[in-house]
Amino acid sequence: MKIEFENQIIEFNVEYANRKKIYIQMDSLGFITVKAPNGTTEENVMRAVEQHGKQLTQRLQQIAKVRDTPKTKEYQEQGKFLHLGKEYFLHELIDTADLSEEELKINLKKFYFSSCKKIIGERIKRYQEQLKVKHKSFEIEESRTKWGSCSSSKKLTFNYRLAMAPLEVIDYVVIHELCHLTHMNHDRSFWRRVGSIMPDYKEKEEFLARHGQAMTL
């Protein structure tokens, strides 16, 4: 779900359980979870998020600022970049001959988008058969706040930076989003379904939390 607050989009997931009040949590990467009592209307969830809109947007801006802090990247043949969890010299990933730094940056991002689309397509095909679900479509996007998402229309999106992660971590994000096709919220049923395919999914979550900021251009 999402709302717009002072020209900034706030995206969040909702978890329903046997509790008395609505709680809002944000992790170190900016992922927001609204924990609501069973039966809470969507209107009340939206209102609760809006009431905390100022604090949430300020925190999201702080996280984005940290994420945007320039880190030295060597856009030359011997510069090193991650692909599927391993470091490669730039010239091992793309053609670097007679290209300017700006052209190298553009081509490298294109490489990651292409690689991510190919890998995600393969993994979706594999895991949707296991989960017995069917997505409508998927696309690769650039995002600072999320690794993947699933819409109510069964459209999946994935962050191109996943191409920098180990394959098993990519698998986790794919499984996570495919499970949302039948469980839109992060309730117990959802996590049981994720765990039925990937019992150690918490390790993959921890990897993204610890190393996600390094997976960037």
β-strands 137-141, 8-11 pairing: unpaired
Residue 62, domain extent: 2-67
* Cα 196 to Cα 21, 100, 167, 171, 190, distances in angstroms: 30, 48, 18, 13, 10
- The set of residues, in sequence order, having a beta carbon less than 8 Å from that of 92 and lying 6+ positions away, is none
Instruction: Look at residue 182 and tell me if it is in a domain.
Output: yes
Same domain, 161 and 210: yes
Instruction: Look at residue 73 and tell me if it is in a domain.
Output: no
Same domain, 113 and 28: no
Instruction: Look at residue 74 and tell me if it is in a domain.
Output: no
Same domain, 45 and 119: no
Q: What is the pLDDT of residue 66?
A: 63
- The set of residues, in sequence order, having a beta carbon less than 8 Å from that of 29 and lying 6+ positions away, is 63, 145, 208, 209, 212
Half-sphere exposure of 210 (CA within 13 A, CB side): 7
Same domain, 60 and 95: no
Same domain, 23 and 51: yes
CATH of residue 178's domain is 3.30.2010.10
- Residues forming a β-bridge with 13: 33
Q: Which of 67, 99, 120 is the last residue of a domain?
A: 67
The DSSP secondary structure of the chain, one letter per residue, reads -EEEETTEEEE-EEEEES-SS-EEEE-TT--EEEEEETT--HHHHHHHHHHTHHHHHHHHHHHHHHHTS------STT-EEEETTEEEEHHHHS--TT--HHHHHHHHHHHHHHHHHHHHHHHHHHHHHHHT---SEEEEE--SS-SEEE-TTSEEEEEGGGGGS-HHHHHHHHHHHHHTTT--S-SHHHHHHHHHH-TTHHHHHHHHHHHGGGS--
Instruction: Look at residue 72 and tell me if it is in a domain.
Output: no
Q: What is the pLDDT of residue 175?
A: 97
Instruction: Look at residue 75 and tell me if it is in a domain.
Output: no
- Burial letters for 54-64: b for 16+ Cβ neighbours within 10 Å, e otherwise? eebbeebeebe
Same domain, 111 and 202: yes
Same domain, 63 and 85: no
Instruction: Look at residue 181 and tell me if it is in a domain.
Output: yes
Same domain, 41 and 130: no
Which residues of the chain fall short of a pLDDT of 50?
70
Number of domains into which the chain is organized: 2
> What is the C-alpha to C-alpha distance for residues 59 and 176, in angstroms, rounded to an integer?
25
List phi, psi (to 5°) of 84: 55, 40
Q: What is the pLDDT of residue 126?
A: 95
Same domain, 193 and 98: yes
Q: What is the pLDDT of residue 39?
A: 93
